[in-house]
Structure 1
Amino acid sequence: MWENGIDIYSVRQIRLRTDLYFGVGAIEYFAEIADQLTARNITSVLVVTGHSSYKRTGAWEVVERILKERNIRYALYDKVTPNPTTVEADEATALGAAAGAQAVVAIGGGSPVDTGKSAAILLKHPGKTARELFSQGFTPTGAVPIVAINLTHGTGTEVNRFAVLTIPETEQKPVIAFDCIYPTWSIDDPALMTGLSQAQTRFVSIDAVNHVIEAATSKSTNPYAVMLGKDVIELVTRYLPIADKDPTDLTARYFLLYASMLAGLSFDNGLLHYTHALEHPLSALKPELAHGLGLAVLLPAVVQTIYPHQAAVLADLLKPMAPDLEGKPEEAHAAGKAVQAWLVRCGVPQKLSDVGFQKEDVEKLVDLTIHEPSLASLLEQAPGYANATSVAAIYMNSFLPLV
């Protein structure tokens, strides 16, 4: 196996739209990033993060030391929640603006990084709000530089142009995608992720799998997205059981993180569709619901729905989970059951009723999916023809296991 020849302690620069420092110990390379900030005459930054993981992982100790050594002032916003809102982005922006922040350093998983991306746009557009941004009230023309220090192996947001926030008053969870929020620099250090709980480890890895299943089967997919997807599912199915058993296994964390990064690139190219469009209303209504768990609840029904339209691609993609699939449309139910069985083996058997929803909620969920513009645009990418009927069917088929 090619992974055996990789020195996980050798930090490499992976040159994408983002300059990514990848490997065990990559956090120390924040010094190089800080030098580049100084070279751009940046003397003040906004740090956006959650309540505790930035300290618990040791990331902040390194970042704060290097900022102080370089005489770079910082304003710290550490109130980002697991399903962040436009209110949080506005608070962070106001703090950064008061401090004269010229760049954003986001530390955390998708929630802090997406909040930081949003603040980076708003710092460049004084007077605009996050609600306007996520309601398509204006189109940004730029953003201040973004540094993303990633603390999970799921979202891929550290290498792509997407961000997600909830608008509390409308119960909507839109997506934005702008080239200006590709992070300028990112850090992927597996050593920062050994403290993820067993549940978090499972959920973020399932997020990465969802990214590539959608990206490889969308109407905008390309061979690059599909090939990345094959690698992602092979790596996650191989290394998630190892990390699940031993959270401190750095090799497992390295390749789960690599898979997550590849998945971020895959959906940056192929986009997303059903599973993410339908999950966003779930976690908008129940902010305590982990995004990856919401995706896991929906995934078997989604695979069953899209398999007839993309049977050959999915049979190839799902080979590590379902080696007997032959790429025939009539295998749709078997494909959904195989994905469901894999989720159960991962310790994630939950269905919609287990995460607090009832069948009476489906009408509202469909409405939030269909009528939120950014989610409707995701549905346009779904194979076949996505409409209120197909969305409702996926929700309804997610209440009980496929049998």
Structure 2
Amino acid sequence: MTLSSFVIRSGKTILYFGMNSLDKVSNVLSRYRRIYIVTSRSAAKVSGALDDVMEILNRYGVKYEVFSGVTPNPLENIIEDASECAWRFGAEAIIAIGGGSVIDTAKIVSVISRCGGRVKDYVFGTRDFCGSLPLIAINLTHGTGSEVNRYAVATLLEPRTKYGLANEYMYPLIGIDDPRYTLSLPYNQTLYTSIDAMYHALEASCGRDSSPYVLAIAEEAIKNIVTWLPIALREPKNIEARYWLLYASMLAGISIDHSRAHLIHAIENVLSGINTELPHGAGLAMLGPTAIKYLYRSRPKELHRLLRHIDPELKPSEDDAIKASRAIEEFQKGLGFNERLSNYGFRDEDIDRVIETTNKYLRYGLSLAPIEIKDDIIREIVSSAL
């Protein structure tokens, strides 16, 4: 089938979706004299996106520098280093080339480069967002959704946890979703990032701020993930599978822009903040099945609408909460996911620390869940993932 290209507007972002989307914004890049590029160590180069960007910038005589030090679950000091480099370079705009960690880092860099301060100033509200440099977000995964929403996540050194920021100044000016750039994703990242998108959709659909609009796009995201993720894992160069997974990720990113992730993401942010080697999507997959049991009991009709695409025999009744939990777990196992928190060094004695940190610093996320989250719920969710 023909894979169409299109443009949508969401929040303050204009998103270009489809093959060779970057070519359509070359005139925008040519407006700037100095652009700072934020990437991770190798993904931007391997995907081909970095070469494409440099070709455009060189063609128009735009000066640029590249920061390639972003790591998964980026620590605040890395973000601040990139911010200082961008400021010293005199950047007029920022280009992010990467997945969620890179785009989130670039969002915060765009703010600090314009407004000054440190990451914690914005996390704890001691400094106001005054604006941001224009950001062009070139997405390399089908999981983040960050290329089309106002969120960013940073890992704090003290307290050691990931903390989410949300502000209108962090909408990218332009988002680029080109499925060609996802063809180089390795197997594990194909799995992890798609699972991230899946939980974006699931949590957005049942959060306190959800709506029929969110439910509609969240269901569309789940349908495409269930259909195309197994194919992408079997056939990593299947461009059609990558296209529809990228589409699903984009929809899921918009869904949390209008609703928010909550229970599962809040706990996972603590875990991958403690151990930044824990891939975000893997952490979600470990926590998700048990958490879904509680969420399904509270919002059976909404979650049934999504999860029926995994298990058609599910009923929109709280009595099927355990069955919904098992459906998610079996779906993930069928994709080859069988990791546990113990693989990343977590033990029973860490649970109290996770509960305390989640309650103290991620309570804003827990408050968006459709149920009251008590300590025993967090304990069961984390314990079941060990």
TM-score for the superposition, normalised by structure 1: 0.93
Distance 2:5 2:326 in 1: 39
Return the alpha-carbon distance in structure 1 between the equivalents of residues 158 and 320 of structure 2: 42
| Number of residue pairs the alignment of both structures matches | 385
Question: 2:176 maps to which residue?
Answer: 187
Stretches of structure 2 lacking an aligned partner (at least 5 in a row): none
Residue by residue over 1:43-83, the C-alpha shift from the partner in whole angstroms, topping out at 9 and shown as x without a partner, is 11211110011111111111111112222211211100011
Please tell me whether the aligned partners of residues 48 and 116 of structure 1 are also in contact (alpha carbons under 8 angstroms): yes
Give the one of 11, 18, 22 matched to 2:17.
22
Over 4 Å off, 4+ runs: none
Letter paired with 2:381: I
User: 2:277 pairs with 243, 265, 288, which one?
Assistant: 288
Contact 2:73–2:162 (8 Å) recurs in 1: no
1:73 aligned to 2:72? no
- The two structures have a TM-score, normalised by structure 2, of 0.97
Shift of 1:30: 4.0
Residue pair 1:75, 1:95 contacting (<8 A) in 2 also: no
Give unmatched runs, 5+ long, in structure 1. Answer: none
What is the CA-CA distance between 1:170 and the residue it aligns to?
2.1
Partner AA of 2:22 in structure 1:
I
The answer as to 2:373 corresponding to 1:386 is yes
Partner SS, residue 95 of structure 2: strand
Q: 2:7 aligns with which of 10, 13, 17?
A: 13
Aligned residue type for 1:390: I
Q: How does 1:164-243 map to 2 (within 5 A)?
A: 164-243=153-232
Tell me which residue corresponds to 2:78: 88
SS of residue matched to 2:355: helix
The 8 Å contact of residues 270 and 354 in structure 2, kept in 1 or not, is answered as yes
Aligned pairs (5 A) from 1:312-351:
312-351=301-340
2:42 aligned residue:
52
- The percent of aligned pairs where both chains have the same amino acid is 34
Shift in Å, 1:389: 2.7
Aligned equivalent of 2:144: 155
Deviation at 1:192, TM superposition (A): 0.6
Give the match's secondary structure for 2:372: coil
Aligned to 2:346, the other structure's residue is in SS state coil
Shift in Å, 1:169: 3.3
CA contact 2:10–2:254 (8 Å) conserved in 1: no
- Quote the offset at 1:281 in angstroms: 1.0
Shift of 1:190: 0.4
3-state DSSP class of the match of 1:75?
strand
CA distance in 2, matches of 1:30, 1:192: 16
Contact 1:24 1:254 in 2 (8 A): no
- Please give the alpha-carbon distance, in whole angstroms, between the structure 2 residues aligned to 1:212 and 1:46: 32
Separation in structure 2 between the aligned mates of residue 383 and residue 322 of structure 1, nearest angstrom: 23
